[in-house]
Structure 1
Amino acid sequence: MKTLNERHDYGLDLFLLSIDEGITGYRDDSLETVRRNERQYGIPLKILSYQDLYGWTMDRIVATIGRRNNCTFCGVFRRQALDRGAAMLGVDKIVTGHNADDIAETVLMNILRGDVARLRRCTAITTSSEGAIPRSKPFKYTYEKEIVMYAYFKKLDYFSTECVYSPNAYRGHARTYLKDLERIRPSTIIDIIHSGDSLAVKGDVKMPVQGTCSRCGYISSQILCKACVLLEGLNRGLPRVGIGKATGGNMSAIVKKYGLREEEEEEKGEDGRRHHGGGEGEGMERRKGEMGGCGSCTCDSKKRTCRDPSTLLDVTRPDRPEF
């Protein structure tokens, strides 16, 4: 972003935004990379932590609920934290480092979960909910390995270590499956992205109306947004019940009750995937207006008018773009 901004004289005000989830041995190391990027590129850096925003760190959350559903918490909190940070910086775009591998994993996850509401938008280069700051994914068609090779040969300072909690993440299973498919058919990742692009929700299907959370004011289709629901459970000690049980105890019940999904698809740079290029910072452009909410509280799949995914989709095969 910095190079393109200078080369083409876009006149953008760029910022780095990094979220500190509070994961010892992972995020603390990556933040050092981001701070070096700040000095190298001369771009202002803002760091927001889960501790400051929510009063919890991921290490504490995992110690409380175990490893089974921790990515649910991290995904919801991280997306809201990005929006809060973007609002503080006054930007009008959030640019994330999602690559082709990330997007293909998300398509596969949403198919396996039957999550049509997210499936219809997860491949878009620019995504936005009403009142939320748009997010762009310029590396949509760039493979993860291409980014790593570029950073290596250009001697860029980047961070590529996986989250210590990612082996238990649902996304990890999707990634393993994709890698197996890629060995058989090298074009699998791009093919899956094109398949996701060809899906669209029928125009006569009623989708949940976006409102705002009655507690924190962020976007939500329910009375409370998912972040507030999760925080309420943590602060009341509900997730502690059932720890160690094979069934997941009350934590699984809470997750199912509110329609929460492990590793929601937005977020950029969520746990369970590698992070490359510019450390954990997200490129941003200065916002011209005010922010009306965050993108963390998307529609609850349980509230869809139609529960049969086959009735919600029009499958077409538009001509594929040449790359």
Structure 2
Amino acid sequence: MPVQCSSCEQKRAVLRRPKTGHSLCKECFFWAFEEEVHQTIVTAGLFHRGETVAIGASGGKDSTVLAHLMKVLNERYDYGLSLLLLSVDEGITGYRDDSLETVKRNQQQYELPLKIVSYEELYGWTMDAIVKQVGLKNNCTFCGVFRRQALDRGAMMLKVDKICTGHNADDVAETVLMNVLRGDIARLRRCTAISTASEGADVDPDSVIPRCKPLKYAYEKEIVLYAYFKRLDYFSTECIYAPNAYRGHARAFLKDLEAVRPSAIVDVIHSGEHLSVRHGVKMPTQGSCQRCGYISSQALCKACVLLEGLNRGLPRLGIGKHHRLHANILSQKPLDLEPHQERKLRAADF
């Protein structure tokens, strides 16, 4: 028997919202979803009139829905923002080159400027070349660090005021779980922030571009439903190197929790938001990398250490704690490693 929309009570419901359990018609679902994102933006004060905002665009469902919503809401509520798309080409044959074609179509569909920056241009390496050297284990560490910095570098080139990314509620909850499992107190404290920027006293505020997450409270399943019913053009293939990522374990655990209790996703987020660090616990102080000037709590940022390891043929150099080697790296001196240490750092299977 057809179910009536629980909102307008006039049309036939076509879906049941995973987030609330309400049965809605397409139009009511679109309005509810868009209004929730609008309220997230307004409540958190994410943007100010006249700002130029770069939308991190990968061609996937999250960034495509974000680009569509930002354009719709900017016009509907007169945010007064200048929007553009910013993409990162990691250099993954058969994956990123195809997804970038989707981004280029989005550029035409949404009539927004597009800027693409690549690992090869910025670092002299593609992810395909990195994986050949480091293997399939921990390759996501390289990609995640390089992509974050590449997005910031692209934003600086464009002189934007803010970057908004398509991180959804599932992503945030997964990050909370990952940081709990790894005991990463510093990241656990800030991973739920809807808008992030460095708070370090030694960092030039003008060199830091804030990032925000308008989809922070949007469930992944609802993003998929929105994209499907809106018939948005997005790329749905998973990265060929992603199956080995540590995040996958947190994702699988979260999905099991969600199946039992749909509110588990937002419950985990709220738990992360209310966690506090005990007084007296020493937290890392953010400063600037002595080589590239990027945000870092050490003499060298993670990207520079990873890149140094790749260029020296020591792919494990950036994996783990090798802070004592930073002085030698900065001075371009030999690392003075024992033979067994060098063999370990050169090993691709780690």
TM-score (normalised: structure 1): 0.74
User: Residues 8-47 of structure 1: matches in 2 within 5 Å?
Assistant: 8-47=77-116
- What is the one-letter code of the residue matched to 1:63? K
Which residue of 2 is the match for residue 71 of structure 1? 140
- Deviations 1:29-86 (Å, cap 9, x if unpaired)? 1101100011111100000000000000001100111010101100110110011011
Show the counterpart of 1:187: 263
Structure 2 partner of 1:200? 276
Q: SS of 1:14's equivalent?
A: strand
1:114-263 to 2 correspondence within 5 Å?
114-130=183-199, 131=205, 132-202=208-278, 204-239=280-315, 251=316, 254-258=318-322
Deviations 1:169-195 (A, max 9, x none): 000111111112222222211111111
- Take 1:195 and 1:18, find their aligned partners in 2: how far apart are those partners? 32
Residue identity over aligned pairs, in percent, reads: 76
Separation in 1 of the partners of 2:271 and 2:322? 29
Q: 1:7 aligns with which of 64, 68, 76?
A: 76
The alpha-carbon deviation at position 254 of structure 1 amounts to 4.3
Read off the aligned partner of 1:201 and give its amino acid letter: V
Q: How does 1:256-295 map to 2 (within 5 A)?
A: 256-258=320-322
Question: Deviation of residue 204 (structure 1)?
Answer: 4.4
The aligned counterpart of 1:82 is 151
Instruction: Give the Cα–Cα distance (whole angstroms) in 2 for the partners of residues 43 and 258 of structure 1.
Output: 43
Question: How big is the shift at 1:110?
Answer: 0.2
Secondary structure (helix, strand or coil) at the match of 1:124 reads coil
Letter in 2 for 1:257: K
The equivalent residue for 2:123 is 54
Asked if structure 1 preserves the Cα contact closer than 8 Å seen for 2:302 and 2:318, the reply is no
The one-letter code of the counterpart of 1:62 is V
| Aligned-pair CA distance for 1:2 | 1.0
Partner residue in 2 for 1:266 = none
**1:272 corresponds to:** none
1:269 is matched with: none
- Matched position secondary structure for 2:190: coil
Structure 1 unmatched runs, 5+ = 240-250, 260-323
**How much does 1:205 deviate?**
3.7
Distance 2:322 2:239 in 1: 26
Instruction: Give me the whole-angstrom Cα distance separating, in 2, the residues matched to 1:202 and 1:176.
Output: 30
In structure 2, distance between residues paired with 1:232 and 1:217:
15
**Alpha-carbon shift at residue 142 of structure 1 (Å):** 0.8
Map of 2:51 onto structure 1? none
**CA contact 2:172–2:269 (8 Å) conserved in 1:** yes
In structure 1, C-alpha distance between the alignment counterparts of 2:263 and 2:286, rounded to whole Å? 37
Q: Distance in 2 between matches of 1:10 and 1:46?
A: 22
Call closer, same or farther: CA 1:214–1:135 in 2, change over 3 Å.
same
1:258 CA displacement: 4.0
Identify the structure with bigger relative contact order (alpha carbons < 8 Å, sequence gap 6+): 1
**Residue 15 of structure 2: aligned partner:** none
Higher mean alpha-carbon deviation, 186-195 vs 27-36, is at: 186-195
TM-score (norm 2): 0.68
- Radius of gyration: which is bigger? 2
Report the Cα offset of residue 221 of structure 1. 1.4
**Equivalent residue letter for 1:81:** A
Which amino acid is the alignment partner of residue 214 of structure 1? Q
Shift of 1:206: 3.5
Runs of at least 4 residues off by over 3 Å: 202-206
Which residue in 2 is equivalent to 1:304? none
Does structure 1 residue 100 correspond to structure 2 residue 164?
A: no
SS across alignment from 2:319:
helix
Q: CA RMSD in A?
A: 1.4
The aligned length equals 247
- Secondary structure at the aligned position of 1:91 is classed as coil
How many angstroms does 1:108 deviate by?
0.3
Secondary structure of 1:120's partner?
A: helix
Any idea what SS the aligned residue of 2:276 has? strand
